[in-house]
Structure 1
Amino acid sequence: MRAAANQHLSVVSPPAPAKAKPYVRAARFVTVELAATIMGLSEEAIRKRLSRGVWLENKQFRRGPDGRVWIDMEGIEAWVLAETA
């Protein structure tokens, strides 16, 4: 009986390999606008942290050659870990 049941089995080819998906890496430096979205804060809240000295230049943010503020996400992560330790 077992041999008869095996006669109805078909050989299935393995699925074709999937195409490689693009690799997306989070940026270390982001604009104030994007940082606000990522962190769930308002742009104003971020700018206040900068103006009050809560986040320090060359630690949690940097200025580009054009004067634009770039938030250092690694610096923010280190700041959060230091504040919660």
Structure 2
Amino acid sequence: MRYVTVRKFSSDSGYTEAAIRAKIADGTWGKDHVWRKAPDGRVLIDVDGYEAWVEMGKPSTANREDKFRSGQSPGPLMSKGPKLGSPKPLV
């Protein structure tokens, strides 16, 4: 079966239901790619989409860029703080 409930996916994958819902909420798993809502409103996991996400090998940069534009912290890989070891200006 291609689409399974969060509970079934949790049982089969080893992810907790909370971890699955967190990945959905934070955008790690994209709607209509790894999950979707059934006509009755229930969240279903697309097993094929999940496998494609696993094989991708890295998180989607689009999700991180969307968070950056929305004002959320982009995380350490995208922060633009001062570089360590930069020379100090002469006074």
| TM-score normalised over the length of structure 2 | 0.62
Unaligned stretches of 5+ in structure 1?
1-26
Gaps of 5+ in 2: 59-91
1:33 maps to what in 2? Answer: 7
**Partner in structure 1 of residue 46 of structure 2:** 72
For 1:49 and 1:83, the matched residues in 2 are separated by: 16
Asked which structure has the greater CA Rg, the reply is 1
Superposed structure 1 runs of 4+ greater than 6 Å apart: none
Shift of 1:37: 0.6
Question: Is structure 2 residue 28 aligned with structure 1 residue 54?
Answer: yes
Structure 2 Cα separation of the partners of residues 79 and 38 of structure 1: 16
What residue in structure 2 maps to residue 81 of structure 1? 55
Kindly indicate whether structure 1 or structure 2 has the higher relative contact order, using CA contacts under 8 Å at least 6 residues apart. Answer: 1
SS of equivalent residue, structure 1 residue 55: coil
RMSD: 0.9
